[in-house]
């Protein structure tokens, strides 16, 4: 009698596991309408909770790599020279905004119709990182603000969240600062 009860419980457990797996399969494969709805929702949740990385702040606008920069571009009072080119790295086009002291590269995904900030290049010493680094400072000043890095030729790369900060040196002086995805 005891063996029959144990065998019955095992069957119930197996059926519960199979039912649970079948239900999860339906949820994950999208029994609701919408192509890749679950995958898109998971991606959205992960992106919202991921560390955004270093930001570039100028006046009342703050830019993060990988986010739509439209609202922040609108906050800038300065006019930008801009042009559009086919993207070398991704599907779609890149729009380049050139301001005094920095350049923004915004990627427009033609399939998704979304805009994402791909890079920020500081072009002179009139602007600085949020932490206070600007072109012309020394390697030691960069190390004081961001920490020491293993030198990759003449470049330090600081990774944070979904982006990296690239600092290029020439004769121990900073000649380039770029935020990129």
For residues 170 and 120, membership in a common domain is answered with: yes
| Of 30, 49, 68, the domain-final residue | 49
This prediction has a pTM of: 0.71
The CB-side HSE value for 1 (13 A sphere, CA atoms) comes to: 0
C-alpha 139/C-alpha 172 separation (Å) is 5
Residues 117 and 75 placed together within one structural domain of the fold: yes
Q: Model confidence at 37, in pLDDT bands (50, 70, 90)?
A: low
Q: CB neighbours (10 Å) of residue 71?
A: 9
Residue 153's CATH number: 3.40.33.10
Looking at the structure, tell me whether residues 97 and 167 fall in a common domain. Answer: yes
- The residue among 75 and 45 whose pLDDT is bigger is 75
User: Is 6 in the same domain as 20?
Assistant: yes
* Residues 150 and 95 both lie in one domain: yes
85 vs 11, residue with greater confidence: 85
User: What percentage of the chain exceeds 70 in pLDDT?
Assistant: 72
66 and 147 inside one domain:
yes
pLDDT of residue 12: 43
Range of the domain at 112: 55-180
Residue 82 sits in the same domain as residue 151: yes
Condensed to tens digits (0 to 9), the pLDDT of residues 135-181 reads 999 999 999 999 988 767 899 999 999 899 999 999 999 999 999 98
pLDDT bin (cut points 50, 70, 90) of residue 62 is very high
96 and 143 share one domain: yes
Q: Are residues 24 and 105 in the same domain?
A: no
> Is the same domain home to 76 and 145?
yes
Residue 121 CB-density burial (10 A; 0-12 exposed, 13-18 middle, 19+ buried): middle
- Let me know whether 118 and 149 are in one domain: yes
Rounded distance between C-alpha atoms, residue 168 and residue 171, angstroms: 10
Which residues share a beta bridge with 102? 99, 122
Kindly report the number of other CB atoms within 10 A of residue 142's CB atom: 22
Q: Does one domain contain both 45 and 99?
A: no
Note whether 68 and 114 are within 8 A (CB).
yes
pLDDT one-digit tens code per residue, 103-116 = 999 998 877 788 99
Q: How far is CA 5 from CA 1, 8, 113, 140, in A?
A: 6, 5, 59, 74
Quote the number of domains for the chain: 2
Which pLDDT value is given to residue 114?
A: 87
């Amino acid at each position: 009698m005891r063996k029959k009860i144990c065998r019955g419980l095992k069957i119930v457990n197996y059926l519960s596991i199979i039912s649970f797996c079948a239900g999860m399969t339906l949820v994950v494969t999208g029994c609701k309408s919408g192509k890749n709805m679950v995958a898109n929702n998971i991606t959205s949740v992960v992106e919202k909770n991921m560390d955004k990385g270093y930001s570039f702040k100028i006046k009342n606008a703050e830019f993060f790599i990988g986010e739509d920069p439209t609202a922040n571009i609108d906050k800038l009072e300065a006019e930008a020279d801009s042009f559009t080119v086919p993207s070398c790295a991704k599907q779609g086009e890149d729009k380049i905004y050139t301001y005094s002291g920095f350049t923004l590269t915004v990627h427009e995904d033609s399939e998704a119709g979304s805009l994402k900030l791909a890079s920020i290049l500081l072009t002179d010493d009139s602007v600085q990182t949020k932490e206070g680094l600007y072109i012309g400072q020394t390697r030691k000043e960069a190390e004081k603000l961001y920490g020491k890095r293993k030198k990759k030729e003449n470049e330090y790369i600081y990774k944070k969240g979904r982006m990296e900060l690239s600092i290029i040196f020439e004769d121990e002086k900073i000649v380039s600062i770029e935020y990129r995805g």
